Each structure stands twice: as C-alpha cells, then as structure tokens.
Amino acid sequence: MPLQIIREYLRKTDLDGWLLYDFSGSNEFFYKASGINAHLTRRSFFWIPKKGDPVLLLHKVEEDGFGGASFRIASYLTVGDLVEALRSLAKGKIAMEIDDEVPYVSKVDASGLHLVSEAGIRPVSSKVLIQLVFSRISEALLETHLKASHLLDTINTKAFEYIRMRRSAGKPVFEGDVALFITDRIKTSHLVSEHGPIVAFGENTASPHYRVQGGGRQLGEGDPILIDLWGKTEGGIYADFTYMGVCGKPSSRHKEVFQLVLEAQKIVFAYIKAHLEPEGWKVDHEVQHFFAKKKVEKSVFHRTGHNIHESLHGPGAHLDSIEIKDTRPILPMTVTSVEPALYLADFGARLENNIYTDAKGKPHWSRPLQTAWILV
C-alpha cells in the first residue's frame, strides 16, 4: 500500500485524510489503496488519515479474515452505526472519489454521498491523489512500456510488408486477414491485449472505433489504410499506436489531412515541454484551436489522447477538452497516448504515438513520429 506517498501529499495540503468508499466492487481505487483481495458485498470505507493508522470500516458479516492486517478494523451493523462510525472517524477536509468534471474519478454513488453527508463530511475530489498514487510509473515499468512500443512498431512494419506481399502476388487483401496477422504477431511477441486491433481500409478509416465484420472490406487502389494496435508485456505498461498507409500513392487531399494531424501531434509535445504539469484539457485545447484555425474542426470526433498504464486507458489525465474538461495535470513519470485525428466523409487520418514524461516532467516520444504515408 503506497501510504508513504499518500501521506506525503496530505502533509503538503490542507486535507485531513482520504476516505475511499466501495459498494460491491464499485471502486477499484479502494482495493488498490487498501491492498484487500477479498470482494466485499456491503458498503465499506477505507480511511487514511494524515496522522495515525488507516482504518477499514466494514459490515459485521465481512469482518472475518482480516487478522494480521496492517490497518485497524472497525465494523457496523445498522446504517445508524455506520453514520456514527464515519462521524467519529473522518473529521475535517476529506478527499473522496467524487468530481463534477472527471467521471473517471467519480466512484461514490448517491447512497454513499448521503451517508457521508449525514456524518457531517463535505468531501472534495481525490483526483490528484489518484494520479499521484496510481498513474505514475517506475523506471522499471517505463522500460516495459518502451519494450512494448518497439514490439508493436515492428509488428506494424511486418503488417504493411504482409499487405505488399499479397498485392505483389496478385492476391486480394482484406481487413480481416490483416487483423488476424497482427493478432497472431502480438501473441508470438508475448504481448497481451485487452482486445484485437483496428484495421480499416478506404471509407472505413473514417470510423474511429471501426470493427471489422467477417473478412471485412477488400483493399483497392488509392485506399487509405489505418492500423491501430496496442499491447503490453505481462505485468507491464501498455503501448498504443496508430499508423496510416495508402494503397498506391496518396492524393493531394490525403497529404494535406495527414500533415494537419502530424502538426497536431507536434503541438501536443511542444505544449507539454513548455508547461510543467499542464492540465489535460489545456493540451487538447491547443490542438482544437489549431484545427479550428485550419477550418477542419467539424472533422474532429474525439479527444486528443488518454493516459496509459497497466490498463490501456489508465487512471491519469486524458488530453480532453471535448468529451469532458479534464483538469488533472500531466504528471512526471506518466505515459499518455497522443492521437489527433480528422474524419472526413470518405476517409479518416489518425496518427497515434505515446509520450512519456521523465522524473522532471520533460516529454519524450516512445517511438519516432510517422512523418509520411506508408506506401503499399
């Protein structure tokens, strides 16, 4: 349990503690902070005070099995007992998983909020605590991300070679065939993935989360190609990349849209480099302002990027001023996807790379940027 990190942060703020609430597995941060492996079925709280020992407050039917725990156990029977226990336990300014702007943080349901209100607690958001404790990675974990990045880059290269080989042999190329090729290479590279890659040809590249049905569309001359793939080593940090190719030669329109998306990636890097720990929405806002100036803002369908961790979409700040206003900062020793995209009526262009910030908050690309269409 990262208690030392939590308390270091608490000492630097006017917070008096962190109160984590869970109901039947609703809050993964409750389990990560407490280290509890058991699944609790009743409303439970884990209290981490600025000073003193942590306390697990749970229902009497679930208090067995915690002998030797590094925290104190308190139990309740009735809802009245629970309110009184909270009233005596958590005093002052308390952080909880609530937030008006960031739904990824909001884990406390209405009944939980009612309980803490009855106990006289007026909680504030724990979003910065969550970032500090759960989104930052070690140098060793960073190496796992960089290894996965290299492997995915290699798999992508082989996928485009596979397409070229099929075309040279006069054989048809279908989206489904390429997706299966990539999936097989991910497995043989000893990477794990939450689900399969995105492979899209032609107009299907204009669908951000396109899913191939059966064999999918056949590749034709002049078609753009989008490959989005992700994975991690066992126990490691994910990497997530999107590449753009074209069958034949890119049109002038293809080139124009590609350059706009590439420039947007560079804007993200420059902004993070120039601003220490910028809020995620501010980074995204720079990209949206650029697209608006180029009069292509109506072709933007999603945020610019997301945090990456042991899950593909991690617990840290996202680059988002569209879907939400993500006010969380981009912290040192975190990984973020950078995937600006433009989706037109007949094709889309998305370029995705990953930025990791070092211990001083300086950004680095996980792999070299793709600077031109990949030709097949």
200, 299: one domain = yes
Query: What span, in angstroms and rounded, lies between the C-alpha atoms of 257 and 351?
Result: 11
Domain boundary among 103, 134, 165: 134
Last residue of a domain, one of 107, 134, 161: 134
Q: How far apart are CA 246 and CA 222, in angstroms?
A: 6
Same domain assignment for residues 276 and 170: yes
What are the pLDDT digits (tens) for 97-144? 999 999 999 999 999 999 999 999 999 999 989 999 999 999 999 999
Shared domain for 124 and 147, answered yes or no, is: no
Residue 37's pLDDT is 87
Burial class (CB in 10 A: 0-12, 13-18, 19+), 349: buried
Q: Which DSSP symbol is given to 126?
A: -
Which helix or strand (DSSP H or E) is residue 246 part of? Answer: strand 239-246
Can you tell me the mean pLDDT for 259-280? 98
Q: How far is CA 314 from CA 30, 105, 334, in A?
A: 16, 11, 10
Q: Are 265 and 351 spatial neighbours (Cβ–Cβ below 8 Å)? A: yes
Both tokens of 273, joined, read 């480099």
CA–CA distances in Å: residue 218 to residues 6, 86, 213: 53, 62, 12
Give per-residue pLDDT as tens, 171-185.
999 999 999 999 999
* Global model pTM greater than 0.85: yes
Other CB atoms within 10 A of residue 119 CB: 19
Same domain, 102 and 185: no
Transcribe 131-184 into DSSP letters. IIIII---HHHHHHHHHHHHHHHHHHHHHHHHHHHHHHTT---BHHHHHHHHHH
User: Minimal CA–CA distance to 348: which of 148, 209, 207?
Assistant: 207
- Interval 90-97 mean pLDDT: 92
Q: Same domain for 227 and 271?
A: yes
**Alpha helix (H) residue ranges in the chain:** 3-11, 28-34, 79-89, 110-118, 127-130, 139-168, 175-188, 252-274, 280-293
Per-residue pLDDT tens over the stretch 17-46:
999 999 999 999 999 999 888 889 999 999
Please tell me whether residues 34 and 177 are part of one structural domain.
Answer: no
Q: What is the pLDDT of residue 1?
A: 55
> Amino acid identity, residue 282?
K
**Based on the domain organization, do 334 and 223 belong to the same domain?**
yes
* Distance, CA of 313 to CA of 242 (rounded, Å): 15
Average the pLDDT over 194-202 and give the result: 95
Q: Is the dihedral of CA 191, 193, 196, 201 positive or negative?
A: negative
pLDDT digits (tens, 9 = 90+) for 296-313: 999 999 999 999 999 999
* Cα-based torsion angle of the residue sequence 136, 139, 140, 145 in order, rounded to the nearest 10 degrees: 70
CATH of the domain at 182: 3.90.230.10
Residues 168, 251 within the same domain? yes
Q: Please identify which residue in the block is written with the tokens 């020793």.
A: 333
Instruction: Identify whether residues 48 and 146 lie together within a single domain.
Output: no
Query: At residue 186, does pLDDT exceed 60?
Result: yes
State what percent of residues in the chain have pLDDT above 70: 99
For residues 338 and 262, the answer to whether their CB atoms sit within 8 Å is no
User: Cα-Cα-Cα-Cα dihedral of 130, 135, 141, 147, to 10°?
Assistant: 160
At which of 134, 164, 190 does a domain end?
134
For residue 203, the enclosing domain spans: 136-375
| Residues 331 and 349 both lie in one domain | yes
**Count of structural domains within the chain:** 2
CA atoms within 13 A on the CB side of 212: 23
Q: Are residues 351 and 308 in the same domain?
A: yes
> Is residue 198 scored above 70 in pLDDT?
yes
Q: What does the alpha-carbon distance between residue 189 and residue 312 come to, in Å, rounded to a whole number?
A: 18
Residue 187 and residue 77 share a domain: no
**In the numeric block, which tokens belong to residue 244?**
């753009």
Average pLDDT over residues 345-373: 98
Domain CATH number, residue 113: 3.40.350.10
